[in-house]
A and B are shown apart, each in its own frame.
Chain A
Amino acid sequence: MSAGGLWRLPARALAEAVRSGRCTPLEAVSSGWEGPAAAWERDVHAVAHADPEARAAGAAAVAGHPEGRPLAGVPVVVKDNLCTLDLPTTCCSRLLAGYHAPYDATVVSRLRAAGAVVVAKSNMDEFAMGSSTERSCYGPTRNPWDLERVPGGSSGGSAAAVAYGLAPLALGSDTGGSVRQPAAFCGVLGLKPTYGRMSRYGLVAFASSLDQVGLFARHVGDLAVAYAALAGPDPRDATSRPGPAPDVGGWDAGVEGLAFGWPANLWREGVDAEVVEGLEEAAARLERAGARRVPLEMPSGEAALAAYYLVATAEASSNLARFDGVRYGARAGDGDVRALQARTRSEGFGEEVQRRILLGTYALSKGYYDEYYLTAQRARTRVRREHEAAFARCDFLLGPVAPTPPFRLGEKLEDPLAMYLSDLFTLGANLAGIPGLSVPVGTTRAGLPRAAQLLGPDDAEPVLLRAARAVEVGGERARLGRTHETEAAWPSKR
């Protein structure tokens, strides 16, 4: 096998090539770095940290015994808020510049046990707070489909890296849509599992009751293999769901007999017409594959959005209190401890992180707690019930991921509320704790990725993967034609 084409392979095929000895782990692991991807990285800037020696050491660890490892020699990009022993973990914040974690996150150690090699830490919005990957202390990531546009966020580096071919798999984190929305913007698959299915041990906490580690891939089968390798209980995460994770081995079993909810009231206004065309296309593919459409109404996401931004910022203000210039990270200023803490945090945190800490501190402060935080927690219960009511009538819901195709760099940077609104359709799943999957559905007339979101009840990952597969098969030509089958058909760089 020519090492030159390895970077295009799905993770499963690459692992099989390594296991059967058709290529070495080092060739597989380096394939993205040595192919055309290397040139793309200069323009896209998906990577925050990488180290060729760590790559080589990872490949060497697999070389002795690749057999039986589902991800043998597969390069994986990991978001910079997941702890790794061999690469820095900075959450793309000045406050954590140069920080090396003293342990691997559980999902990272499970990746390594499965034979995968972490080849890069990806760029992200600082502490995962953002929807565009413009708020990284290392500068923005650009969308590989159009370099003037954002890749989405906050896991934009992971999504872009998978889209342009640095690796077939990536890890991100999804607190309000931070895996699904960048997946949609970059034309790849993005899965947010059921809350508690992926260990959060070693994920730098943003909002602990909402955070969930998620996966990016270009193929549904790759998502299934990665999910099977990583999901499941972890005694180190108190919120980990007990019992084995659902079996996703049947991801190619089809959707015959399944019913999908079609809450068309959600996109009657305020959603881009081409996004809606993508939804119609996804629904048509599901119906051709034997699924049944169930028209239903869902409450608009406005109350959920309000509840989300109060709960998420309140938890963030508490979680980020640990960055005080004492135990790790940067330290600024001298004088008394209080002044040192304030100077460290003010110089270390970026604008958006400070804004969210202030909002959360306000919502938790005396006199406002009942009005804001407690009300938001009650609204959260309502959001969960609304989803339960919908799932009594269907196996999964189909809807938009984001209200628009990828927007331009700088377009929403000056208006925090406008940026928050791009999470309108994704954050309900985090409040309810349910799984969600973003699946590509061709492109807009301007050549930008379109996507649909699939939402299911707790532990519905197997159903969501089957549905995504049905959408993927129907659209294989469109999707692969523009991205990964031939270099000539790649999105043009502007």
Chain B
Amino acid sequence: MAIPPEEVRRVAALARLEIPEDRLGRLARELSAVLEYAAVLRRLDLAGCEPSAFAPGGAPPRADEPAGGLAREDALAMAPEAGEGFFLVPPFVEDLEP
């Protein structure tokens, strides 16, 4: 199926990507080519095939139990901006009284 360029723009916004206008057309064609190839799946007999999220037949994941994690200073060490024990980002709530 063919994806129009404006659909690429919509998906890019969901994915937090800025795609320059002059690349939208080409990307739309490339993604369409892959999805057209994927049409082969529609011709497949999938009766009785339940979806598998992980390798089917694989062992179940271990119990998800809390355990120790990274120390705060290690977690912050590679942040682009950090201070007072927190990751810092530009203000995103306006008119907030301190």
Contacts and interface: CB of A to CB of B under 8 A. Distances in A.
Interface string B9-34: 00110111111000000010011011
Given A195-B58, A326-B89, A342-B18, A416 B34 contact: yes
Contacts of B51: 374, 377-378, 380-381
A240 B62 contact: yes
A49 interface: no
A255 to B, nearest CB: 25
A306 B40 contact: yes
Contact of A433 (B14, B18, B37, B58): B58
Nearest to A360: B15
B83 to A, nearest CB: 13
A327 B79 contact: yes
A355 B30 contact: yes
Interface string A360-382: 01100100000010111111111
A337 interface: yes
A431 B80 CA distance: 36
A317 to B, nearest CB: 6
Contact of A417 (B33, B77, B90, B92): B33
Contacts of A303: 40-41, 44
Interface string A255-287: 000000000000000000000000000000000
Interface string A374-394: 111111111011001000000
A416 B17 contact: no
A15 interface: no
A346 interface: yes
Contacts of A336: 90, 92
A384 B19 CA distance: 37
Given A377-B51, A377-B52, A433-B56, A330 B80 contact: yes
Contacts of A196: 55, 58-59
Interface centre among A338, A343, A361 (most CB of B within 10 A): A361
Interface residues of B, number: 52
B14 A365 contact: yes
Nearest to A102: B74
A355 B11 CA distance: 11
Contact of A328 (B15, B38, B78): B78
A209 B79 contact: no
Interface string A226-244: 0000000001001111100
A340 interface: yes
A325 B55 contact: no
Interface centre among A321, A329, A337, A381 (most CB of B within 10 A): A381
A458 B41 contact: no
B27 A358 contact: yes
B90 A361 contact: no
Contact of A195 (B8, B17, B55, B75): B55
Interface in B43-82: 44, 46, 49-59, 61-62, 64, 67, 70, 74-75, 77-81
B13 to A, nearest CB: 8
Contacts of A195: 54-55, 58
Contacts of A365: 11, 14
Nearest to B88: A326
Contacts of B39: 306
A239 B16 contact: no
A302 interface: yes
B41 A238 contact: no
A420 interface: yes
8 A-B pairs with the lowest CB-CB distances in the bound complex, closest first: A433-B55, A377-B51, A331-B80, A102-B74, A306-B38, A346-B18, A381-B49, A195-B55
19 contacts: A100-B78, A239-B58, A240-B62, A306-B39, A306-B40, A307-B41, A328-B78, A328-B80, A329-B78, A335-B90, A345-B16, A358-B19, A372-B38, A378-B49, A379-B41, A380-B52, A382-B44, A384-B55, A433-B56
Given A359-B31, A378-B46, 5 more contacts: A195-B58, A239-B54, A302-B40, A358-B15, A433-B57
